[in-house]
Amino acid sequence: MKIKIKIILILLFISSINLYACNCKYQGNLEVLQNIEFNNSECIFIGEVIDIDSKNNVFEVIIIESFNGIEIGEIYSGLYDKYCGPIINEKGKWLIYGNFNSENQIVINHCGLSRSFENPENNTSASNPPEPLPPNTLISKSESEKRMTEWKKRAKSDLDKEIIYLRKRIK
């Protein structure tokens, strides 16, 4: 009888835990992702993230440039999902794709293209990291650093091209 009670308690405990997995599957190249984001976002803008509360997954952002009509200069509160990024984890200038919730907060699109200008490579949906080398491949530290530097430059270039694309798209 005690074993049955323990099993029931364990099952109740396990079922009460919020299990959440995020799977950002590959949906195509950057151009395909840009079209998906553009068509599925209520707000697309460049903003200055001025405050981050990582405990509650909340941030504040000032709108610098809008690509779909939200007011420049306005300050919005936003939410991100720490399990299914992009994660707003640094202050500074960001390209943000999102939607509004019932409290007029910006909710970052899961698996989307929102990313910082300082470290755009941190969003792997937007910029794929260098391919892993086969096991036992001898590569110098400088060659490895060179590959990472090229990846970061490509991520920055992709972000710059995306801004140009968004500006053309709204004209």
Residues near 42 by beta carbon (within 8 Å), at least 6 away in sequence: 68, 98, 99, 100
Could you tell me which CATH class the domain 25-170 is placed in?
mainly beta
Which sequence spans correspond to the domains of the chain?
25-170
Show pLDDT as tens, one digit a residue, over the chain (171 residues): 566 554 554 444 444 444 446 777 766 777 888 888 999 999 999 999 999 999 999 999 999 999 987 899 999 999 999 888 899 999 999 999 999 999 999 999 998 899 999 999 887 666 666 666 556 566 666 777 888 889 889 999 999 999 999 999 887
